[in-house]
Amino acid sequence: MNKHQEQFLLYRIRVLKDEKAFAKLYSEYYSALFRFLTIKLPESEVEDALSTIFVRLWNYITGSRVENVSGLSFTIARGVIAEYYRKNQNKMERTGLPLQETKEPTEKQGDKLIVRGVEIALVKRAIAQLDTGNRTAIILRYLEDLPIKEVARRLQKTETATRTYLHRAIKILKNQIDQEIK
Amino acid sequence: MEERELINLLKREKSTKVFGGSFDTDMPERVWKEVCEQVGLSLSPDSKSYSFRDHLDFFYWRVQESFLRPVSTALVGFALIVSGWIFAMNATYASMPGDVLYSVKLATERVQLQLVFNNEKRAKLQVEFADRRLQEMKELSRSHHEDREALVHTAAEKFKQQMTSVHEVLAEMQTQEPESALALAKVLDEKVDEYTVVLDQSETDFSQENKQDVQGVIAAVEDTDQQAVEVIVSQQETTPKQETAKDLEKIFRKDVMSIETRISASQRRIDVVKIALEEREDLFLYEEDLQNIRDRLRPLSEQINDLMNMFAAGGYRKSFEIIEEIKINLDVVEAKLTDLEILISTQQLQTVIPPVSLENNETEEISETQLNQDITE
In terms of Cβ atoms closer than 10 Å to its own Cβ (0-12, 13-18, 19+), residue A175 is: middle
Q: Which of B246, B227, B238, B134 is nearest to B185 (CA)?
A: B227
Which pLDDT value is given to residue B47? 66
Min Cα distance A54 → chain B (Å) is: 7
Which pLDDT value is given to residue B365? 41
User: Is A104's pLDDT higher than 70?
Assistant: no
**Residues B166 and B124 sit within 8 Å (Cβ to Cβ):** no
User: Is A94's pLDDT higher than 50?
Assistant: no
Alpha-carbon span B156 to B134, nearest angstrom: 7
Which pLDDT value is given to residue A98? 42
Nearest CA in chain A to B45: A20
DSSP state of A159: H
Which pLDDT value is given to residue A50? 94
Query: Would you call A27 and B28 a contact, using CB atoms and an 8 Å cutoff?
Result: yes
Chain A residues with beta carbon closer than 8 angstroms to that of B209: 79, 82
Q: Which of A57, A30, A46, A62 is nearest to A98 (CA)?
A: A46
- pTM to 2 decimal places: 0.51
Query: Would you call B335 and A64 a contact, using CB atoms and an 8 Å cutoff?
Result: no
Chain B residues with beta carbon closer than 8 angstroms to that of A119: 9
* Closest by Cβ to A75, choosing from B17, B28, B153: B153
Query: Would you call A142 and B11 a contact, using CB atoms and an 8 Å cutoff?
Result: yes
Distances in whole angstroms, Cα of residue A159 to Cα of each of A82, A151, A166, B64, B222: 30, 8, 10, 30, 18
Interface contacts (A, B; CB < 8 Å) = 167
ipTM: 0.81
**Residues A71 and A61 sit within 8 Å (Cβ to Cβ):** no
Chain B residues with beta carbon closer than 8 angstroms to that of A10: none
Q: Which of B131, B88, B87 is nearest to B109 (CA)?
A: B131
Query: Would you call B164 and A156 a contact, using CB atoms and an 8 Å cutoff?
Result: yes
In terms of Cβ atoms closer than 10 Å to its own Cβ (0-12, 13-18, 19+), residue B1 is: middle
* Helix segments in chain A, DSSP class H: 3-16, 19-40, 43-63, 69-87, 111-128, 132-138, 148-155, 159-181
Contacts 24+ apart (CB under 8 A), A13-16: A13/A58, A13/A61, A13/A62, A14/A61, A14/A62, A14/A64, A14/A65, A14/A66, A15/B61
Min Cα distance B84 → chain A (Å) is: 32
Min Cα distance B30 → chain A (Å) is: 8
Alpha-carbon span B292 to B304, nearest angstrom: 20
DSSP state of B356: E
Do the bridges between strand B356-357 and strand B363-364 make them parallel or antiparallel, or are there none, so unpaired? Answer: antiparallel
Give the range among A100-109, A137-146, A168-177, B232-241 with minimum mean pLDDT: A100-109
Which pLDDT value is given to residue A37? 92
The rounded Cα A68 to chain-centroid distance in angstroms is 16
Instruction: List the end-to-end C-alpha distance of chain A, in Å, as a whole number.
Output: 42
**Residues A74 and A132 sit within 8 Å (Cβ to Cβ):** yes
In the structure, what pLDDT confidence band is assigned to residue A46 with cuts at 50, 70 and 90?
A: very high
Query: Would you call A133 and B216 a contact, using CB atoms and an 8 Å cutoff?
Result: yes
Chain B residues with beta carbon closer than 8 angstroms to that of A157: 164
User: Is A5's pLDDT higher than 60?
Assistant: yes
Note the pLDDT tens digit of each residue in A124-134: 888 888 877 88
Mean pLDDT for each 10-residue chunk of chain B (377 residues)?
85 86 84 89 73 82 71 68 59 74 80 79 86 87 79 84 78 76 86 83 77 81 83 84 89 90 92 84 77 88 86 85 85 85 68 40 42 41
